[in-house]
Amino acid sequence: MDPETTNVIEVKCLTVRYPKPGLKQVFVTAVNQLALAVHHGEVFGFLGPNGAGKTTTMNVLLGFVPPTSGTASLFGIDVRQPIARQRIGYLPELTYYYKFLTAEELLRFYAKIFGLSRAETDQRIAKLIKLVGLEHASKRPIKSYSKGMQQRVGLAQALINNPDLLILDEPTSGLDPLGRMKVREIIQRLKDEGKTVFFSSHELGEVEAICDRVAIVHEGQLKAVGTVAEISAGHANLERAFLEVVGYQSTCQP
């Protein structure tokens, strides 16, 4: 299978229903008949208001939640197969990594999961620690890290296997402006290296700046998909377009 022509992410007719907490017979539809394709080498922004179904879709892609119906695949492999995740990196929102490990030990652990050789692991760890700017703290336990440093460790672990696809859930959430800039630079660098990046964010300015294409979901359904320019056409900016797509009406009178 040619990786250049195969869709990196392909979601077809995806529906996810959850039983309502406490009521097993009553179901809530989190994602409804969603279809999506992310191409090789693009930075893809996945947008939507809270509760739109972004996280559920990501959870399906990562194999955390089984789809109720429809299919989802990574590099043409069904997401239910662990091997589908061999070539991806994932950065969740706000994760507190094993606090008794150092950053170096954490990366070494994840490298073992990917079955990397010792020499390759050493090389990758050195490169990633430098990339995320943690050279001074790599041998310190993670429990002594600030929130920003933890997020950078997270980014490093997501890149340990030199992934072809990076899935980022709110990667700049809770970071200071410098941290955001650093993450943006890293995404840009990955794009330059030909990697595919799929990320969700509420920072529309950031999405506008780095994404090739975006998708907007609302109430579990795909409302719009296209390049930033296509979505923003006829609006002042992406934010205005987003608000119209999700049907937002201001209650403040001018």
Partner 1 sequence: MNKIVALAGVVIKELYRRKDFYVLFVLTALLTVAAGMVNFFNDDKIIRIVKDVCLMLIWVSALIIAIVTTARQIPAEREARTLFPLLAKPVSRGQVLAGKFLGCWLATGVALVVFYFFFAIITGSREHIWPWAVYFQAMWLQWFMLAIVIAMVLLGSLYFAAPSSTSTISFILVVGMLGLGSHLNTLALQQPEPMQSLLAGIYFAMPHLEWFDLRDFVVYDQKLIAWPAFALATVYAVVWTGIFLLLAWFGFRRKNLST
d(CA 102, CA 113): 17
Beta strands 9-20 and 69-74, pairing class: antiparallel
Closer residue to partner 1 (CB): 93 or 212 = 93
CB of 92 to partner 1, least distance (A): 5
Closer of 92 and 148 to partner 1 (Cβ): 92
Amino acid letter, residue 131: L
Q: Which is nearer to partner 1, 17 or 184 (CB)?
A: 17
Shortest distance, CB of residue 247 to partner 1, whole angstroms? 26
Residue 161 or residue 232: which is nearer to partner 1 going by CB?
161
Cβ–Cβ contacts within 10 Å for residue 72, how many? 25
205: which 2 tokens? Answer: 């300015």
**Interface residues toward partner 1, by CB under 8 A:** 18, 55-56, 58-59, 62-66, 82-86, 88, 90-101, 105, 109-110, 112-115, 154, 157-158, 161, 167, 169
For residue 240, the minimal CB distance to partner 1 (Å) is 29
Residues 15 and 67: beta-carbon distance below 8 Å: yes
Cα separation, 69 vs 250, whole angstroms: 36
How near is the Cβ of 250 to partner 1 at its closest, in Å? 31
Residue 207's nearest CA partner among 43, 10, 37, 56 is: 43
Q: Which residues on adjacent β-strands are paired with residue 10?
A: 37, 73
- In whole angstroms, how close is the CB of 238 to partner 1 at the nearest point? 25
**Of 47 and 241, CB closest to partner 1:** 47
Rounded CA separation 17/26 (Å): 10
Q: Which is nearer to partner 1, 69 or 227 (CB)?
A: 69
| Least distance CB 254 / partner 1 (angstroms) | 39
Using alpha carbons, select from 142, 163, 139, 165 the residue that is nearest to residue 153.
142
CA-based end-to-end distance of the chain: 56
